[in-house]
Structure 1
Amino acid sequence: MKHSYSFPILLISLLFVTISLSALNTQVPLWLVRNEFSLGQIGLVGSSYFTGNLIGTIFANWFISRFNARHTYTYSCIIFAIATIGLSFSINFYSWIMWRFFIGIACAVTWVVIESCILLTGPVHTRGRMLAVYLTTYYLGTVLGQALLQYFPQDVLYFGLVIMLLMGLAILFILRTHYKLPKRKKSSFNIMPMILNKPSRLGLTGCIIAGMLIGSLYSLLPAYYSHLGYSDIQVANWMILLILSGVIAQMPANWCADKFGRQIVLLIESLFMLVACIMLIFNWFNALAIILLGATIYTIYPISMAWACSCVKKQDIVAMNQAMLLTNTLGSLIAPAVIAFIMDKMNNTYLFVSFAIISLYFIVLLIKKRGTDAQPQKST
């Protein structure tokens, strides 16, 4: 790439955005709990963020074509900052749904910009490594956001001002890059053939399930711990343990999937996830259970994504990626609202009961599919 320094600068910008998002995703449920919102309402606010992700994913390419990559990213950061400040206008259920929706749009657009810059401007022989560094940076920012949460102001307005500062730094760095993405004359958004592609169906199912689980964790786990009487710092520490477990498990899980087959690894992970849920339901070895939960939930998506992509031709991989991102987002926006409603009607433990049912369903599907695991294709 002509401007080789653009990639590390892009990652620094991403780090500021991810720290902001991570801190906000944990703090929002805590604010809602303090203001005596029901779990059903908390789940709907969480789902509104993922609905914004869905809309942002669909229209991101249009924004990029109209405003170019760096300006689209800049406008997204501005929307993120304004929407976070907007949360302080009133602790009102409908206004918070609206502001979280806009934050979801902004985040999805920034991810599409970053991934497009890597995929379309990076050298082919280093693209995989660049994506790996990108994901590592994203997870690092997520962990840092949780670790730094105790130093953020607790007041909604001042918290928003800190986010505005971080977004300003993200904009400053992105404008120092030299990324230019080609404009598309026609939209290539045609995912129905990918969704209907039978060999990739279980891979797509894994993406949906990963979205359901991760979306519910981000939206409801902080509220779960808050209802147990944990302080904000303790909640953040549990979230750090969960996410770090997923980060550490990434390389071993994906290596095993390449070596032994994706179906068998997903089956083993689903079994471990079921065990973790049972442990959490009965309050057995909570730390170990959270480690198991993070290590399995955060690795289901990349393995499922690799499975689905291995089932289509090279020219269809972009469309398949769009299908996977959309199905993942659909799972993320539906599950928090449904599970929160169940928790509200029953009790908080039904968060993990719901996870156990989802993992059991995936186990049944994988067992039925025995002997037909999609093996990795040779790179072309």
Structure 2
Amino acid sequence: MGARSYSFPILLTSLLFVTISLSTLNTQVPLWLVHNEFPVWQIGVVGSSYFIGNLVGTIMANWVIGKFNAKKTYSYVCILFALATLGLSLAIDFYSWSFWRFIIGIACAITWVIVESCILVTGTVKTRSKMLAVYMTTYYLGTVLGQALLRYFPANVLYFGLVISILMALAALFILLTHYKLPKKKKNSFNLMPMLINKQARFGLVGCVIAGMIIGSIYSLLPAYYSHLGYDDSQVANWMILLIASGVIAQFPVGWFADKYGKHILLLLEMVIAVIACFMLIIDFLPILATIILGATIYTVYPISMAWACECVRKQDIVVMNQTMLLVNTLGSLIAPAIIALVMDKLGNSYLFISFIIISVYFVWLLLKGLIKNREHRYAGSF
């Protein structure tokens, strides 16, 4: 326990460096593309390339970790992240930037699998949910810090990449100071099908997809949306900070609410409120309040869905379920930005939030249907 007690905060510190780097890139890359007059659909595809990398990284994570062990793998992908960021400075064109964002996506996905697996393997039933809450809070804090620090980063792509390289070197150094070891897995151990067909976990898995679709679109397209409204880079960063900070603040109260009143009811309520917030943004009614509400709801969907799905499987299957959730979350993240970007390109910027409404209403319908079915089963069982 002594090694674990200080390994966990060191692990989170390393994650913080990775998240700050990723957060700055997620906002800066669309802005660079806008400044270089790329069409919205190409910005969406570059954003989706990152999430395709997430998908590939999630699938290959087990093999890489088994070959090099967790700490070495983490260090290697930090180096890969830094090199890919420097690669952006070689040429600002659609194909090369899609490739480098794809490589960064692979590195990030493997990082998340390692961090989440370390937490799930070392945590107990009593501590796991608390550790995941701290993990998500750290992740979002790093995202907010990345947005806040963005104005101090150099505007030049090459110098920007050098700053990212320093942060990733620190992340690699910190992970080597921990004592985490993950059990080696068999080649066929990443069997998704039992997790995907688990009926009890289906709402948790759908929640992960929904969160991926909306948050992926937020990172890929919202900076470009604000830029098209005429905001400068500093103002775009401020709006992103407000959105993500709202998600950070909401983590613990929403988690308490989910434990007390149930995850099903909470997700249903969150989706309804998110729809209202999107309507407010479309008509430009109290945009600051609407942004706070949207961040507080959307950024808490993934951890609540993750906790819901993990409750439905045995302890030995939790890590595989975690990887399954990350995989379906990534699928949502890579598909939605590309499709929504095409719609925005044809019909206008406001269709970003109209798309969020359609996605949220679909999830509301599924949750209501599940709630009614559960009550019918309970009613029938009482006779």
Structure 2 length normalisation: TM-score?
0.93
**How much has 1:245 moved relative to structure 2?**
0.8
Aligned residues: 374
Match of 2:349 in 1: 348
Residues 59-107 of structure 1, C-alpha deviation per residue, up to 9 Å, x if partnerless? Answer: 1111111111111111101100000000010011000010000000001
Structure 2 CA distance, aligned partners of 1:113 and 1:314? 17
1:15 aligns with 2:16: yes
Residues 69 and 365 (structure 1 numbering): CA distance in 2 closer, same or farther, change over 3 Å?
same
Partner AA of 2:291 in structure 1: I
Partner AA of 2:13 in structure 1: I
8 Å contact kept, 1:270–1:359: yes
Match of 1:58 in 2: 59
8 Å contact kept, 2:63–2:187: no
1:43 aligns with 2:48: no
Structure 2 CA distance, aligned partners of 1:137 and 1:305? 17
5+ long unaligned stretches in structure 1: 375-380
Structure 2 CA distance, aligned partners of 1:305 and 1:139? 16
Match of 1:272 in 2: 273
Partner AA of 1:94 in structure 2: Y
**How much has 1:129 moved relative to structure 2?**
3.0
Residues 116 and 262 (structure 1 numbering): CA distance in 2 closer, same or farther, change over 3 Å?
closer
8 Å contact kept, 1:273–1:297: yes
**How much has 1:198 moved relative to structure 2?**
2.2
| Aligned-residue CA RMSD (Å) | 1.7
**How much has 1:116 moved relative to structure 2?**
2.2
**How much has 1:174 moved relative to structure 2?**
1.7
Structure 2 CA distance, aligned partners of 1:7 and 1:74? 17
Residues 21-80 of structure 1, C-alpha deviation per residue, up to 9 Å, x if partnerless? Answer: 101110000000001111100010001101111111111111111111111111101100
Structure 1 CA distance, aligned partners of 2:308 and 2:173? 38
Deviates more, 1:196-205 or 1:78-87: 196-205
Structure 2 CA distance, aligned partners of 1:184 and 1:305? 22
Structure 2 CA distance, aligned partners of 1:245 and 1:373? 32
8 Å contact kept, 1:11–1:137: yes
8 Å contact kept, 1:343–1:349: yes
Match of 1:201 in 2: 202
Residues 278-304 of structure 1, C-alpha deviation per residue, up to 9 Å, x if partnerless? Answer: 111111111011011111111111222
Residues 148 and 296 (structure 1 numbering): CA distance in 2 closer, same or farther, change over 3 Å?
same
Alignment of 1:61-100 (within 5 A): 61-100=62-101
Partner AA of 1:306 in structure 2: A
8 Å contact kept, 2:117–2:319: no
Match of 1:212 in 2: 213
SS at match of 1:369: helix
Deviates more, 1:295-304 or 1:130-139: 130-139
Match of 1:251 in 2: 252
Match of 1:337 in 2: 338
Structure 1 length normalisation: TM-score?
0.94
Deviates more, 1:199-208 or 1:174-183: 174-183
8 Å contact kept, 1:261–1:373: no
8 Å contact kept, 1:262–1:373: no
**How much has 1:185 moved relative to structure 2?**
3.5
SS at match of 2:371: coil
Structure 1 CA distance, aligned partners of 2:123 and 2:365? 40
Deviates more, 1:305-314 or 1:201-210: 305-314
Partner AA of 2:92 in structure 1: I
Percent sequence identity is: 71
**How much has 1:307 moved relative to structure 2?**
2.3
